[in-house]
Amino acid sequence: MERFDRVRVADPPELSLIIPYESMPGFYIDCFAVDLPTHCSLEAFLKAFYTSWIFRLERLILRLALRVPTSSDDLSAMLSGASDKFAVWIIEERQADQMIAKAVGGSNRTRSWFRVLSRDDGGTRLFFGSVLEPEPSLDGAPPRLGLMFRAGIGAHRLYARVLLAAAARKF
């Protein structure tokens, strides 16, 4: 079983791609972090994340429920920068130490954010966060998350911690 106690809630570090969403009305963001004792690149983090046991289950669900197949070649293309798409995500922005991707299709209004930061002791802090975008307001009311998003935030936060712990376990 993963070591969830190592994964903690964190504030996004300065200049993180997730920060602009904090001030957007109705948006929800979260950020989790875990420390590794060794150096880790963004590509290694992404590979560990997307090949973890828990994410392989998510890929299976995507394939069966949404008919969105993903392959190792698709993952390799995204990791190398040859593709800006993986499964249901389109990479919105990628820098040397972070990436944010938006889920597309249907009424999907979610983003996943990944970041690696080197620590002074030679280790790496891995960050994983999410952005949930509110439903557009049709009547001029302030935008807000829909009922399904609000009801599922607790489960979402637990799942995010499991995902990050599973990726960290590979190092």
CA gap 102, 143 in Å, rounded: 19
Strand partners, 128: 32, 114
How many separate domains does the chain show?
A: 1
Looking at per-residue pLDDT, the higher value among 106 and 161 belongs to 161
Q: Give tens-digit pLDDT for 78-134.
A: 999 999 999 889 999 999 999 999 998 766 789 999 999 999 999 999 999 999 998
Rounded to 5 degrees, φ, ψ at 135 are -70, 140
**pLDDT by residue (tens digit) across 7-46?**
999 999 999 999 999 999 999 999 999 999 999 999 999 9
Nearest to 121 by CA among 45, 37, 30: 37
89-94 and 8-9: which strand pairing? unpaired
Average pLDDT, the chain: 90
> Each residue of 53-81: b (16+ CB within 10 Å) or e?
eebeeebeeeeeeeeeebeeebbeebbee
CATH of the domain at 161: 3.30.530
Q: Between residues 6 and 105, which one has the greater pLDDT?
A: 6
Q: Is the pLDDT of residue 72 over 90?
A: no
At 1 the pLDDT is: 41
Q: Supply the pLDDT for residue 142.
A: 83
Give the pTM.
0.92
Q: Beta-carbon neighbour count of residue 86 at 10 Å?
A: 20
pLDDT at 116: 98
Q: Is the pLDDT of residue 3 over 60?
A: no
DSSP readout, 1-26?
---GGG-EE-PPPTT-TTGGGGGSTT
- Predicted pLDDT of residue 102: 95
The whole-angstrom distance between residue 118's C-alpha and the CA centroid of its chain comes to: 19
pLDDT band at 140 (very low <50, low <70, confident <90, very high): confident
Report the pLDDT averaged over residues 143-164: 88
Q: Give the SS3 label for residue 113.
A: strand
- pLDDT of 105: 72
**∠25-159-55 over CA atoms, to 5°?**
115
What would the two tokens of residue 68 be?
């969105």
Give the domain range for residue 158. Answer: 4-168
DSSP 36-98: ESS---HHHHHHHHHTSHHHHHHHHHHHHHH-----HHHHHHHHHTS-SEETTEEEEEE-SSE
